[in-house]
Amino acid sequence: MAGIDPELLGILRCPIARVPLVQEGDWLYSMDMNAPRRYPIRDGIPVLLIEEAQDVERMELERVLARARRGRSPQT
C-alpha cells in the first residue's frame, strides 16, 4: 500500500458527490456523509469509476474522518 501524493489527493474528488476524498489504506473515502462510499486504489492508482464505488456504513466513514482530523496518517 502506497500513499497517494498529498498534492494529487487535494485535487481528486468523488465522481458522484464532487467532494474531497480521504485515503485510508488501499481505499479513498468520499467525504459525503449523506451517501458514504469508498473507491479502491489498485497498484497505487486511484480507481474513481462510479461502478467501482462501494457503499460503507456511516460509522466507518466517521471513524476514517475522525482519524484524518486528529492528524493521524490515514494510511496507517
One-letter amino acid of 30: S
Asked whether residue 1 carries a pLDDT value surpassing 80, the answer given is no
Asked whether residue 4 carries a pLDDT value surpassing 50, the answer given is yes
What is the average per-residue pLDDT within 14-23?
96
CATH level 3 topology of 6-69: N-terminal domain of TfIIb (2.20.25)
Q: pTM (2 decimals)? A: 0.87
Place of cell 492508482: 45
| Grid cell of 48 as nine digits | 474513481
